Amino acid sequence: MEFRYLGRSGLKISEIAYGNWLTHGSQVEEDAARACVRAALDEGITTFDTADVYAGTRAEEVLGRALKGLRREGLEIFTKVFWPTGPGQNDRGLSRKHIIEGVHGSLRRLGTDYVDLYQAHRFDHETPLEETLRAFDDLVRQGKVLYVGVSEWRAEEIERALKIADEMGFDRIVSSQPQYSMLWRVIEEEVVPLCEREGIGQIVWSPIAQGVLTGKYKPGRPLPEGSRATDGKGGADMIKRYLNDDLLTRVQNLKPVADDLGLSMAQLAIAWTLQNPNVSAAIVGASRPEQVADNVKAAGVKLDADVLKRIDEVLGDTVIRDPAKTVSPPRRP
């Protein structure tokens, strides 16, 4: 396993992180989830990412039980707050009330006294940004949160937060967690340049585009049974943007690129994200331990300029680049 600094902070994290969105407490039974976590640890992964909303808070509980008894100082545990975790009007968003109550719930479910990184899971247009940042800063000062980050924020939203933090003496954001893959590059034009300048690292999710970049979805063929595309619990909604024959044909044409490098298609996709120097880690999920072992082989892989150019030529105009695609709800959900 290779390790990278999280932005300009002093925190080192495994460049392959293990995430449990759409798996723990949902698609995967607890015994299988624990086996995947054990596999991640055996492969040298020390960084684990979750969120309070995943599987209706059950994902945090499963991860907490899977990590119980391990040396806490040897792990980096990340979670998030924003999406609804209960029926009340204040069980959502980035108000002070929800942030404080949210972290206490997450700590209880994870079975830990602190989280290494607490992330605003979306931008809250209904809460003053000063209120949100002060609540996060208070948690840092209390030792319940060590670092603060954001997920799926636009460049102008991150910039506003940094300005307020500097003016009010709050801890600065050290990380951004966006979707990023060969097919989804919306952060490259605005978010990445800002974050490089300000010392913020990317912890990217869906580096294999919900499984599309593994090549298992074939043009003109039925969707594989039991795959993300047939998951009625949320996975199918995310992946459907990629399920057209032109894009799937282009993805199949990446196989010779991977073969020439001795990589699986998943390894090639994950390694591609790690070529971006602003990326601190790529988050992988798994429903089986062998998937973890396969994905981890992307750590430390270097792709030369000719390979990157070849990938761009294969994918052509199927790549999504529009920064406006990063959108938070105009109102709390």
Q: Alpha-carbon torsion 130, 149, 25, 58, what sign?
A: negative
Alpha carbon 31 to chain centroid distance? 23
Residue 205 contacts residue 21 (beta carbons within 8 Å):
yes
Residue 192 contacts residue 166 (beta carbons within 8 Å):
no
Please report, to the nearest 10 degrees, the dihedral formed by the alpha carbons of residues 54, 60, 65, 70 taken in order. 120
Q: Cα separation of 102 and 88, whole Å?
A: 13
Question: What are the tokens at 162?
Answer: 């940094």
Where in the chain does DSSP place strands (E)? Answer: 3-5, 12-14, 16-19, 47-49, 76-81, 115-120, 145-151, 173-177, 201-204, 279-284
Show which residues are catalytic: 54
Bridge partners of 184, per DSSP, are 320
